[in-house]
């Protein structure tokens, strides 16, 4: 029957997404994502095309499955990992050297075959070659410091400083890629009202 | 060419308001009222509500109740007759509405010393003005900073599925529509999700409201089954953004068409408004939903008799 409950991964893993404006230590379980990587400034041509490709693939997989009567689920919000090739703090480097990976959390029952089919059908419709770069990935971030950032993206350093102090107090140090979960739509929401979850994997120092 | 002013809009609306006062007992079709004021019928209800501060239906209902109140005071007619004249089929229904408006039951009102037969109305219009309606108050914009930009759009090719039924249930049509497009690779990252509401849920019975769920496609798309193709006309559009739940979209439409528009120097074109959904309601809290509303406009007057006086001979029915 088609009356199955729709799966919402953020609600299912509530503890992993319940960030407030106070830093907290959370334990992340391994999770599956659709992902696309690149280098350059956020908002650049490559970046924008990648967001389109990622969403296109995510919706195509979801709708194909739904059409076939499979378990329905919500397409999660956009997430991103940020870093640089050097060990240096990426935020201090010129933006064209930033490495990013855009992510959309996806149920574990989505496999390589679903991805292959979706990419093929999107290519056939001429929806841009970028879809070929979308991959399925598992992230196992383990212990992370997490905090809700409210405001423009370029003020994130203030929130990160709070997270860092919180980590140090507990003898933890940042280790692994800076991760963000975009709760707001930057196309229309005013910068001062943008909500973003910041996540930073940590390990014992 | 002169620009259209709020004064022009008010003159046109006055024709409608005078007509309603004179024909309170007639079935007043929305199309007919729209024609009187040279408004396109597909936008008229929203312009009316925005300018007058109540819907056509609410306006007529209120005037009829005010008339009933005055009959209660000035005549000895039985309450049941007065109820019937006010358009109510039952005494109970009339009593309920009357009490809501005047705080007293009809017979209490008749016995009371209360003389005022007018109820609160943002427009300041009341029963008894008849053809003497010369002026009314237009509702002031709630938020005077409503951001509207004029945008030129090329015609938009869309695949669509028609929903007929309560507006609140359009989600079920999207649920049917999107999987069909999705499995064909037609939901790329640049696809626009568009809604066109053809009827006013306040006027049209809920089971007859027509709504088109649309997704942009290229010209090669072939219609099949219950999926059709249409072209949303190009041209100038006034665009504003609605923040929050879809249930409140109507308020933003009313503000755009009934409050911003008459002060903007623009005229509506006779093609439907449409809305573009910018986020996914399945993963977004209703408060965080963002929707762009497009109203088709032109800056030249669409009609030549804008400034002529309300025509007392203009009533087509007797």
Kindly state the helix (H) or strand (E) to which residue A135 belongs, with its residue range. strand A135-139
Structure-model confidence comparison of residues A88 and B51, the more confident one: B51
Closest CA to B186 of A129, A125, A133: A125
Positions of chain B with pLDDT under 70? 1-2, 129-131, 140-144, 300-318
Over the range B54-80, which residues count as b (16 or more CB within 10 Å of their CB) and which as e? bbbbebbbbbbbbbbbbbbeeeeeebe
pLDDT of residue B130: 64
Categorize the per-residue pLDDT at A3 as very low, low, confident or very high, splitting at 50, 70 and 90. very low
pLDDT of residue A188: 78
Tokens representing B83 are 């109820």
pLDDT of residue B306: 43
Query: What is the Cα–Cα distance from B261 to B283, expressed in whole angstroms?
Result: 33
Render pLDDT for B11-36 as a digit per residue (tens, 0 to 9): 899 999 999 998 988 888 888 999 98
Distances (CA, A) of B15 to A113, B121, B300, B315: 65, 19, 21, 10
Which positions in chain B touch A124 (Cβ < 8 Å)?
185
Asked if the Cβ–Cβ distance from B279 to A55 is below 8 Å, we say no
pLDDT of residue B114: 76
Closest CA to B261 of B10, B73, B2, B35: B10
Helix axes B6-22, B56-74, angle to 10 degrees: 50
Interface ipTM: 0.86
Widest pairwise Cα distance in chain A: 54
Say which of B175, B190, B283 has its CB closest to residue A75.
B283
Which positions in chain B touch A62 (Cβ < 8 Å)?
182
Say which of A52, A64, A77 has its CB closest to residue B283.
A77
Burial grade of A58 (CB within 10 A; 0-12, 13-18, 19 or more): buried
pLDDT of residue B40: 84
Query: What is the Cα–Cα distance from B24 to B241, expressed in whole angstroms?
Result: 37
Q: Which of B183, B239, B278 to mutate to test the interface with A (most CBs of A within 10 A)?
A: B183
Which positions in chain A touch B243 (Cβ < 8 Å)?
188
Mean of per-residue pLDDT scores for chain A: 92
Helix, strand and coil percent figures for chain B, each rounded to 5: 40, 20, 45
How distant is the Cα of B206 from the closest Cα of chain A, in angstroms?
A: 25
Residue B156 near residue B229 (C-beta atoms within 8 A): no
Render pLDDT for A22-76 as a digit per residue (tens, 0 to 9): 999 999 999 999 999 999 988 888 999 999 999 999 999 999 999 999 889 999 9
Closest CA to B216 of B166, B293, B297, B274: B274
Residue A148 near residue A20 (C-beta atoms within 8 A): yes
Asked if the Cβ–Cβ distance from B184 to A125 is below 8 Å, we say yes
DSSP state of B138: P
Render pLDDT for A97-124 as a digit per residue (tens, 0 to 9): 899 999 999 999 999 999 999 999 999 9
Distances (CA, A) of A190 to A194, B189, B243: 7, 23, 11
Q: In this prediction, what percent of chain A has a pLDDT beyond 70?
A: 97
Strand, coil or helix: B151:
strand
Q: Which residue has the tokens 């574990």?
A: A108
Tokens representing B91 are 């005494």
Categorize the per-residue pLDDT at A94 as very low, low, confident or very high, splitting at 50, 70 and 90. confident
Which positions in chain B touch A10 (Cβ < 8 Å)?
283
Tokens representing A109 are 């029952």
pLDDT of residue B3: 73
Residue/partner pairs of B80-87 with CB below 8 Å, 24 or more apart: B82/B106, B85/B25, B87/B25, B87/B61
pLDDT of residue B305: 43
Asked if the Cβ–Cβ distance from B185 to A125 is below 8 Å, we say yes
Tokens representing B149 are 């930009």
């Amino acid at each position: 029957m088609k009356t199955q409950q729709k799966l919402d991964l953020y609600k299912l893993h509530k503890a992993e997404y319940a960030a407030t404006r106070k830093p907290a230590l959370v334990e992340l379980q391994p999770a599956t994502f659709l992902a696309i990587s690149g280098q350059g400034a956020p908002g650049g041509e490559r970046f924008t095309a990648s967001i389109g490709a990622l969403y296109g693939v995510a919706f195509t997989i979801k709708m194909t499955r739904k059409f076939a009567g499979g378990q329905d689920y919500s397409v999660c919000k956009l997430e991103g990992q940020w870093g640089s090739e050097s060990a240096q703090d990426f935020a201090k480097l010129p933006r064209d050297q930033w490495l990013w990976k855009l992510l959309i959390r996806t149920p574990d029952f989505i496999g390589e075959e679903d991805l292959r089919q979706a990419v093929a059908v999107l290519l056939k419709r001429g929806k841009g070659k970028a879809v070929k770069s979308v991959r399925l990935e598992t992230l196992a971030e383990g212990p992370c410091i997490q905090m809700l950032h409210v405001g423009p993206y370029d003020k994130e350093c203030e929130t990160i400083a709070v997270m860092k102090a919180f980590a140090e107090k507990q003898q933890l140090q940042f280790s692994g890629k800076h991760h963000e979960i975009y709760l707001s739509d930057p196309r229309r929401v005013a910068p001062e009202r943008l909500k973003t979850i910041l996540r930073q994997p940590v390990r014992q120092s | 060419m002169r620009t259209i002013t709020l004064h022009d809009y008010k003159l046109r609306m006055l024709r409608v308001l005078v007509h309603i006062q004179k024909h309170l007992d007639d079935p007043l079709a929305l199309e007919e009222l729209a024609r009187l004021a040279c408004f396109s019928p597909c936008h008229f209800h929203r312009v009316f509500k925005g300018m007058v501060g109540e819907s056509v239906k609410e306006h007529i209902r209120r005037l009829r109740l005010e008339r009933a109140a005055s009959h209660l005071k000035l005549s000895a007619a039985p309450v049941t007759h007065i109820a019937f004249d006010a358009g109510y089929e039952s005494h109970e229904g009339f009593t309920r509405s009357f009490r809501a408006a005047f705080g007293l039951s009809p017979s209490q009102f008749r016995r009371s010393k209360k003389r005022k037969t007018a109820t609160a109305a943002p427009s300041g219009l009341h029963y008894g003005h008849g053809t003497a309606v010369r002026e009314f108050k237009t509702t002031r914009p709630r938020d005077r900073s409503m951001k509207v930009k004029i945008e030129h759009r090329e015609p938009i090719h869309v695949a669509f599925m028609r929903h007929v039924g309560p507006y609140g249930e359009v989600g079920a049509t999207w649920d049917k529509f999107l999987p069909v497009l999705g499995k064909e690779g037609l939901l790329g990252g640049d696809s626009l999700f568009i809604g066109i509401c053809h009827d006013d849920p306040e006027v049209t019975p809920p089971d007859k409201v027509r709504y088109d769920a649309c997704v942009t496609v290229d010209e090669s798309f072939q219609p099949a089954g219950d999926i059709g193709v249409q072209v949303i006309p190009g041209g100038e559009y006034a665009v504003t953004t609605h923040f929050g739940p879809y249930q409140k979209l109507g308020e933003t439409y009313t503000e755009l068409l009934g409050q911003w528009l008459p002060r903007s120097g623009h005229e509506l074109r006779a093609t439907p408004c449409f809305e573009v959904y910018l986020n996914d309601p399945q993963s977004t809290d209703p408060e965080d939903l963002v929707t762009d509303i497009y109203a088709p406009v032109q800056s030249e007057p669409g009609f030549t008799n804008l400034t002529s006086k309300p025509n007392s001979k203009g009533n087509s029915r007797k």
